[in-house]
Chain A
Amino acid sequence: MSEEVILLKDLKLVPDKYYNYTQALKNSKTPIVIDNGSFTCKAGWATSKTPNLTFKNILARPRKERGKKDGETLIGNDIPNIEAVRFQLKSQFDRNVITQFNVQEQIFDYTFSHLGIDSNGSINHPILMTEPVANPNYSRLLMSELLFECYHVPGICYGIDGLFSYKHNIGKKTGLVINCGHHTTHIIPVIKGTPDLLNTRRIDVGGYHITYYLHKLLQLKYPAHYNAITPSRAEELLYEHGFLAVHYTDMLKKWSDADYYDRNVKRIQLPYSMTVVLTPDQQRDKRREMAKKLVEMNARKRDEKLAEDEEQLQQLLLIQEMIDDGEPIEEVREVLKSHGLKNEKDLRKLISDLQTRIDRAKSKIAASLNASNVEEHVTEEPKLRLFKNKIQLPKEDTISKTWLKDIYKRRQDIIDKKAVRKQRRQDMAKRGTAASLERMRLISQLARKDKRDDDFGSRDEDWDVYKVINKEGGDTDSDEEQEKITELEEIIRFYDPTFVSSNTNEEQNPKEAHQLHFGIERMRCAEVLFQPSMIGCSQGGITDTVEFILKKYNAETANALAENLFLTGGPTKLPGFKERVYRELREMRPLETNINVKLSNSPLLDSWYGAKEFANSGDFHKYLLTPEMYAEHGGDYFIENYCSNMYCPLPEAIQEPEGLSEQNQEI
């Protein structure tokens, strides 16, 4: 049995470096290739070997606080710890489509400035950007507007990320692209190098949903660690230990075996701080010491007070003597006044008061010295604390079994009451039970129309009916009750050490208490790609949708597509993904047909590599949308290429040439 405990890495992001804008780049019209994914943005020069920048496509904008200087907006890899700014994160994406163009603008600023560009007033490089399949024209219009009017780029070309990756890995063959993104999964058939977008389908489940599902599952499994289980940690766990079951239900049966579970579960250690747990003995010692200190402090105070009183008394006695000696009245009055006294009577009263006070204090000191039973004093203290709820404790010698029995009974009563309430709640939840029938009867009686002589409410008892018809039964499990139980149990434990409390949570060591058992969740979370119903999504999973698409073709083309399935995108890195697709396809396709599944070489970066190749190809400039075309054909226009969307102009009937961007829809 492996008892290995895995520590979380909690990797911190490293800020991107600024590149130099070399003279060669300045003078050339080297295209900038941007794979603008909703998870990460990959950007770089078409001449670079790998993307110059790879960063999370998010920014953190600190909230504006009055009286405080606005914090800096952090972008992508500049955010050291995403969890610290979780609630300030902004993304330009709504699902897989860009809608927040002010955020996109800041991302562009970040990208271009990190590439080192310092040309004045414009970016003198054509841009090759990826966009989602069937990107709404409205979104493309705003993107072109931003690039042309804010950055004055000389040309833009749009393409689909999954297709670039396919071109890079496969080329011009017929095949089926399964592109698993952060928010969506696209399945795109490619016929002899040309994408068939009409038969493309999108499933609204992606890597984000896997991590979200895992995050929530772990939080629900370990409510105590609700805050320690963060989305970033869920993501780390997914890509470190997650996998796709080749045969999910078979695997579940294996996991239900305790031995298999023990062998395959990953124990994840959450960070924790050692809280010093004191043994009861140590606690008692500590308490004793504290009490001793308190006693000493009290004694000192008493001594001080006593000395003060004695001095005052001395003075007053002097005055008394003065009066007795027959000093002049004027003088006596003066002295009395200075002590805040009116006349002789007051003086006498004060003297007697002081004397009694001093006597009392002296006797107290004597008593505490005599007894010197500080110890006893202390041991009694914890007991005394128990009695704030006025539970009468008999004198030590009279503790009888009957009294203890009574305490037991009182504890049991509360527990029973709770059980009754729970039962009632359960009964209320069901329809047919006597309790809920009675409740319905009462409600209908209360709602009766003919209330000729309705005197409801004149008596106080009338109002009790609301307690009866309340689903909760009028009262809930209060903290007060729980407190009382703990107190009673405390007393019982004091006199009966063998007693075991009803709700003692097993004392675990903090290390084990902070461990997550990452078992079935390892494969359960990624399963949402194949069974979206697990997260309440009504769409079919990947294989369902593949089947749906294949059915749209004749047998020959369908076979050709199935012979060349191509997987790309972040989640396809998960172990078992390829095998899973193969197995399900095998079960679905006719026996004599071939099935081939190929995984992208680099599921995360291949789109960028493919796009780069396209940007370096000789006819790239032919596909560039120029500012002139943008002005002439309208904002949503672009030139189609073999990796791009279809240009579908908005239907004439309702076309709003300028109005689209101007309209400010009220929500």
Chain B
Amino acid sequence: MANNTLEEVSHKEEKKYVFKDPTFDSTKTVNGKKKLWRSLKQITAQERNLPWPENTIYYSSISAPPSFKPSKKYSDISGLIAKYKDPQTSLYYAGHEEFSTVRNLPSDIITGYLTLRGSYNPIG
């Protein structure tokens, strides 16, 4: 039984789709090297450097601008509006009940919260 399914699998793997051009090289080997697909970052970086005429758009040109309002601060652990920031862990917290929790958090949880908020700085 197991053998049977194995055969089926390999049969499926080798299955050639009739509607495809058999000569099309999907791996895109250039000089024996597999083609590396460019990442979006590389693509947009190259795009940005082009001398675009006015009234054209490209990927980076339609990126939304930063917010003009100051960002609100929410407690990292509870999500409530944060009035305080613990200078030691640099976590935001909402009140004294949360403070002891913040202080007793293991370091990986602290970095987890900071990374999630995008303000983890390992240098200190």
Q: In the complex, what residues of B have CB within 8 A of residue A118's CB? A: 18-19
Q: Interface stretch among A235-243, A483-491, A493-501, A527-535?
A: A527-535
Q: Is B109 a contact partner of A220 (Cβ separation < 8 A)? A: yes
Q: Is B26 an interface residue (CB 8 A)?
A: yes
Interface residues of B in 59-98 (CB under 8 A from A): 59, 61-69, 71-72, 74, 77-81, 87-88, 94
A99 CA to B40 CA in the complex, in Å?
Answer: 7
Contacts A109-B20, A201-B63, A520-B80 known; A430 to B87 CB distance under 8 Å? yes
Per-position contact with B for A122-138: 1 when CB-CB < 8 Å, else 0? 11000000000111111
> Nearest-CB distance from B32 to chain A (Å)?
12
Per-position contact with B for A81-102: 1 when CB-CB < 8 Å, else 0? 0000000000000110101111
Q: Is A437 an interface residue (CB 8 A)?
A: no
Per-position contact with B for A415-427: 1 when CB-CB < 8 Å, else 0? 0000000000010
Q: Is A200 an interface residue (CB 8 A)?
A: yes
> Nearest-CB distance from A31 to chain B (Å)?
16
> Nearest-CB distance from A316 to chain B (Å)?
61
Chain A residue with Cβ nearest B73:
A533
Contacts A105-B26, A216-B116 known; A538 to B66 CB distance under 8 Å? yes
Q: In the complex, what residues of B have CB within 8 A of residue A138's CB? A: 38, 43, 46-47
> Nearest-CB distance from A474 to chain B (Å)?
18
Which residue, A99, A221, A429, has most C-beta atoms of chain B within 10 A?
A: A99
A636 CA to B42 CA in the complex, in Å?
Answer: 17
Q: In the complex, what residues of A have CB within 8 A of residue B116's CB? A: 213, 216-217, 220, 535-536
Q: Which of A112, A203, A536 contacts B117 (CB 8 A)?
A: A536
Q: Is B37 a contact partner of A653 (Cβ separation < 8 A)? A: no
Contacts A139-B43, A200-B57, A646-B57 known; A220 to B62 CB distance under 8 Å? no
A205 CA to B88 CA in the complex, in Å?
Answer: 30
Q: Is A23 an interface residue (CB 8 A)?
A: no
Q: Is A72 an interface residue (CB 8 A)?
A: yes
Q: Is A35 an interface residue (CB 8 A)?
A: no
> Nearest-CB distance from B103 to chain A (Å)?
8
Q: Is A648 a contact partner of B62 (Cβ separation < 8 A)? A: no
A150 CA to B26 CA in the complex, in Å?
Answer: 8
> Nearest-CB distance from B8 to chain A (Å)?
9
Q: Which of B19, B88, B94 contacts A426 (CB 8 A)?
A: B88
**Number of chain B residues whose Cβ lies closer than 8 Å to a Cβ of chain A:** 67
Q: In the complex, what residues of A have CB within 8 A of residue B49's CB? A: 654
Per-position contact with B for A175-206: 1 when CB-CB < 8 Å, else 0? 00000000000010000000001101111100
Q: Is A201 a contact partner of B62 (Cβ separation < 8 A)? A: yes
Q: Is B51 an interface residue (CB 8 A)?
A: yes
Chain A residue with Cβ nearest B87:
A430
Interface residues of A in 195-235 (CB under 8 A from B): 197-198, 200-204, 213, 216-217, 219-221, 223
Q: In the complex, what residues of A have CB within 8 A of residue B18's CB? A: 118-121
Q: Is A150 a contact partner of B35 (Cβ separation < 8 A)? A: no
Per-position contact with B for A290-328: 1 when CB-CB < 8 Å, else 0? 000000000000000000000000000000000000000
> Nearest-CB distance from A218 to chain B (Å)?
11
Q: Is B61 a contact partner of A134 (Cβ separation < 8 A)? A: yes
Chain A residue with Cβ nearest B6:
A69
A101 CA to B38 CA in the complex, in Å?
Answer: 10
A56 CA to B124 CA in the complex, in Å?
Answer: 41
Q: Is B118 a contact partner of A536 (Cβ separation < 8 A)? A: yes
Q: Is A71 a contact partner of B52 (Cβ separation < 8 A)? A: no
Q: Is A252 a contact partner of B79 (Cβ separation < 8 A)? A: yes
A178 CA to B62 CA in the complex, in Å?
Answer: 14
Q: Which of B50, B62, B71, B74 contacts A200 (CB 8 A)?
A: B62
A94 CA to B116 CA in the complex, in Å?
Answer: 20
Q: Is A70 a contact partner of B39 (Cβ separation < 8 A)? A: no
> Nearest-CB distance from A355 to chain B (Å)?
63
Q: Is B99 an interface residue (CB 8 A)?
A: no
Q: Which of A133, A137, A429 contacts B88 (CB 8 A)?
A: A429
Which residue, B38, B41, B94, B113, has most C-beta atoms of chain A within 10 A?
A: B38
Q: Is A198 a contact partner of B57 (Cβ separation < 8 A)? A: yes
Contacts A136-B58, A200-B62, A538-B66 known; A255 to B30 CB distance under 8 Å? no
Q: Is A99 a contact partner of B39 (Cβ separation < 8 A)? A: yes
Q: Interface stretch among A389-397, A445-453, A540-548?
A: A540-548
> Nearest-CB distance from A92 to chain B (Å)?
9
Chain B residue with Cβ nearest A113:
B17
Which residue, B27, B33, B39, has most C-beta atoms of chain A within 10 A?
A: B39
A95 CA to B19 CA in the complex, in Å?
Answer: 30
Q: In the complex, what residues of A have CB within 8 A of residue B64's CB? A: 187, 201-204, 539-540, 544-545, 548
Q: Interface stretch among A12-20, A596-604, A659-667?
A: A659-667
Q: Is A259 an interface residue (CB 8 A)?
A: no
Q: In the complex, what residues of B have CB within 8 A of residue A252's CB? A: 74, 79-81
Q: Is B109 a contact partner of A120 (Cβ separation < 8 A)? A: no
Q: Which of B20, B22, B117 contacts A535 (CB 8 A)?
A: B117
Q: In the complex, what residues of A have CB within 8 A of residue B80's CB? A: 252, 255-256, 520
Contacts A121-B18, A197-B57, A648-B56 known; A539 to B66 CB distance under 8 Å? yes
A94 CA to B94 CA in the complex, in Å?
Answer: 37
Q: Is A653 a contact partner of B67 (Cβ separation < 8 A)? A: no
Q: Is A161 an interface residue (CB 8 A)?
A: no
A97 CA to B47 CA in the complex, in Å?
Answer: 14
Could you write out 26 A-B pairs with CB less than 8 Å apart?
A95-B40, A102-B27, A112-B19, A118-B19, A134-B61, A136-B58, A150-B20, A201-B65, A213-B116, A216-B116, A223-B109, A249-B72, A252-B79, A430-B87, A524-B79, A537-B118, A539-B65, A539-B66, A544-B68, A548-B64, A646-B56, A648-B52, A648-B57, A664-B33, A665-B42, A667-B42
7 further A-B pairs in the complex, CB-CB below 8 A; given A95-B40, A120-B18, A667-B39: A117-B19, A187-B64, A223-B109, A253-B81, A664-B30, A665-B36, A667-B42
List the 3 closest pairs (A to B, CB-CB), nearest first. Answer: A536-B118, A533-B71, A540-B67
